Amino acid sequence: MNSKINVEQKILIKRNPKKIKKETVNGSLKIIPLGGLEEVGRNMTVFEWCPDKGREQIVILDAGLGYPESENMLGVDYIIPNIEYLEEKKDKILGILITHGHYDHIGAIPYIIDKLNYPPIYTTPLTKGLIIKRQEDFPRLQKLEIYEIKKENYTPFKLGDFMIDYFHVNHNIPDSIGFFIKTPIGNILHTGDFKIDFTPFFDKPADLSRIVKLSHEGVDLLMIDSTNAPESGHIISERKIMENLEEVFKKAKGRIIASTFASLLERIQQLIYLAGLYGRRVVIDGHTMRINVEVAKRLGYLKYNKGIFIRPEESFKLPPHRVLIICTGSQAEEGSALMRIANKEHRYFKIINNDSVIFSSSVIPGNERIIQNLKDILTKQGAKIFHYQMMDIHASGHAFADDIRLFINLSKPNYIMPVHGHYFMMKAIEEIGIDLGIPKEKIIIASNGQVVKMFNDKIELTDEKIPANLVYVDGLGLGSVGDLVLRDRKALAEEGMFVIIITLNSQTGEIKTSPDIISRGFVFLKESKDLLNEVRTLAKNIVIKNTKHLGDEAPIIQEEQIKYSLKEEISQFLYRKTQRRPVVIPVIIKV
């Protein structure tokens, strides 16, 4: 494999892209990452052409979501890009280009598309199908305008002054592409998520000749996936993964339960193929995975034998060695199929002796402990575990260092801008670039919201910043959660809740009964009588202090001031007594 790569490198690197003399154009191009830098996920980049004369034009690349990465993001389902800047310029948006169908590249579409006035979307057929399927969960939205990009014969298209071309790349979902964006001021090559696999099993190899052909027109800026840049060598081929998965199928005596990411259609395809080869029927388990498989089947992106798919209840009619369950839960996600099986909460399945459980995914940093706990639970119940540290049964969808070197050598960019990665990943691209002879000043390490400007003769990182803070989505919808809400949720989770209810006589301002107290997650009321009596006395004094009596007239009860004082003074009192700060909620009832 290595000799093949080296030969191809030597042949292709010898070719020098012909220098195209560019016409001097008055204006600049803004490149604005709204997500995807110093993080993995939430990918969204804005290309804004700003001519000295004429109207600005905007093209967007990807519109993805991220997932909560902090324990402080309690109750948050997703994180999406801040599109405040784009909302003010929505009439200038020409279209959205989508590289592939993973949620970190398409997941924000339902939350932002109406705010951007429904610009047209351009993407490949499978990605289009996944976007449309997800829109069914948002019936209030208008029908999307989506144009298909066909990889069979490359056909560039124009969006205003932008000329859009593209090329096939390998990833772990079919129909992945990179874009070659020709602007009046220069050419940008964006890899999208990519790897270089010369021997994929169900996909074609990345179209390196196409990349070279496009690069002959000159690459002023290469925006390159940095996720696995710190990993040395070449990424393992999917064909090798297939061979190792087959070893599990050969040896398994009972059911095989294979867990992977719901969007990893390449792996799902491999497992379906092996099931057919070894006489197993297939159950797909997990809501998102079922949706992805349904779309891929309908569009012809999955190859399978007729009748191979069965419902969960049908699996009980077959001997265990004839069953394969492909499910979600490789990251021990709460509520996922594999977690429900392990916790004996699944409607149909539980672990039985001789089950083989495959974890066909790498561990997302931070999930190590909960995944190890899941493996322990499954092993105690009688399962045999297979994971990527034992044998190569998972390959990332992102290029390793030597694949990145090859891509840079093929495209011969003037400038490089790492994307799709944490800071240390982007710095690894910088090291690779410098090693290949690219000056450090021509490698742009930007952060979300930081404006990069392209001119006729240079590209520079500016001090201009666009709002790119996190926007939270939870069950209540977009923007319903802010930092203050998250802070309260954190306090409730860590310190508990302390509710004090005071009933006042609206005529006299007197407290009718002793204040009621409700405590959840703070103190056990029956064992804290002295503390509670002190709180009641404090509360009575606060009410008296904030109630004004004017002769025979009804008293002025300063309700809001009473609530504020109760919250502040009781909170301080409880901290002095217990060194804890529960969320104090005062309730005033006037009768």
Q: What percent of the chain has pLDDT above 90?
A: 60
Mean pLDDT, range 26-31, rounded to an integer = 94
> Which tokens belong to 242?
């297939």
d(CA 36, CA 499): 42
d(CA 362, CA 241): 13
Count other C-beta atoms under 10 Å from residue 353's C-beta: 11
Beta bridge partners of 33: 45
> Which tokens belong to 487?
């802070």
| Highest CATH level, class, for 2-13+27-234+396-473 | alpha beta
Count other C-beta atoms under 10 Å from residue 552's C-beta: 5
d(CA 98, CA 64): 9
- Kindly report which listed range (127-131, 170-174, 448-452, 477-481) carries the lowest average pLDDT score: 477-481
Q: Is 316 exposed, middle or buried (0-12, 13-18, 19+ CB in 10 A)?
A: exposed
pLDDT at 5 over 60: no
According to the model, what pLDDT value does residue 4 have?
36
In this chain, the answer to whether the domains covering 2-13+27-234+396-473 and 238-387 adopt an identical fold is no
Band the pLDDT of 12: cuts 50, 70, 90.
very low
Return the closest-CA partner of residue 254 out of 111, 350, 131, 151: 350
pLDDT at 277 over 50: yes
The contacts of residue 164 (CB under 8 Å, 6+ apart) are 59, 97, 122, 156, 157, 158, 179, 180, 181, 182
**Residues 128, 101: contact at Cβ < 8 Å?**
no
According to the model, what pLDDT value does residue 465 have?
96
Which SS3 state, helix, strand or coil, does residue 295 take? helix
According to the model, what pLDDT value does residue 483 have?
54
According to the model, what pLDDT value does residue 258 have?
95
Mean pLDDT, range 394-402, rounded to an integer = 90
Question: In this structure, what are the phi and psi dihedrals at residue 33, rounded to the nearest 5 degrees?
Answer: -80, 120
pLDDT at 451 over 90: yes
* Beta strands 323-327 and 256-259, pairing class: parallel
CATH number for the domain formed by residue range(s) 483-590? 3.10.20.580
According to the model, what pLDDT value does residue 320 have?
96
d(CA 424, CA 434): 15
Q: Which residue has the higher pLDDT, 417 or 477?
A: 417
What angle, 0 to 180 degrees and rounded to 10, lies between the N-to-C axes of helices 265-277 and 287-298? 80
Mean pLDDT, range 431-445, rounded to an integer = 97
Domain boundaries, the chain: 2-13+27-234+396-473, 238-387, 483-590
What is the dihedral sign for C-alpha 391, 397, 401, 405?
Answer: positive
User: Which CATH superfamily does the domain covering 238-387 fall into?
Assistant: Metallo-hydrolase/oxidoreductase (3.40.50.10710)
> Which tokens belong to 488?
């309260």
Mean pLDDT, range 77-83, rounded to an integer = 89
- Kindly report which listed range (39-53, 159-173, 369-383, 467-481) carries the lowest average pLDDT score: 467-481
Q: Which residue has the higher pLDDT, 559 or 182?
A: 182
Mean pLDDT, range 464-481, rounded to an integer = 73
The secondary element (H helix, E strand) that includes residue 6 is helix 2-13
The contacts of residue 206 (CB under 8 Å, 6+ apart) are 168, 169, 170, 194, 195, 196, 197
What angle, 0 to 180 degrees and rounded to 10, lies between the N-to-C axes of helices 287-298 and 125-135? 130
Q: What is the DSSP string of 393-440?
A: ----SS--HHHHHHHHHHH--SEEEEESB-HHHHHHHHHHHHHTT--G
Per-residue pLDDT of 302-361, as tens digits, reads: 999 999 999 999 999 999 999 999 999 888 888 899 999 999 999 999 999 999 999 987
Q: Which residue has the higher pLDDT, 389 or 323?
A: 323
Mean pLDDT, range 147-158, rounded to an integer = 92
d(CA 13, CA 472): 45
Question: In this structure, what are the phi and psi dihedrals at residue 388, rounded to the nearest 5 degrees?
Answer: -65, -20
Band the pLDDT of 479: cuts 50, 70, 90.
low
Band the pLDDT of 163: cuts 50, 70, 90.
very high
**Residues 64, 41: contact at Cβ < 8 Å?**
yes
Q: What percent of the chain has pLDDT above 70?
A: 87
Residues in the chain, total: 591
According to the model, what pLDDT value does residue 370 have?
85
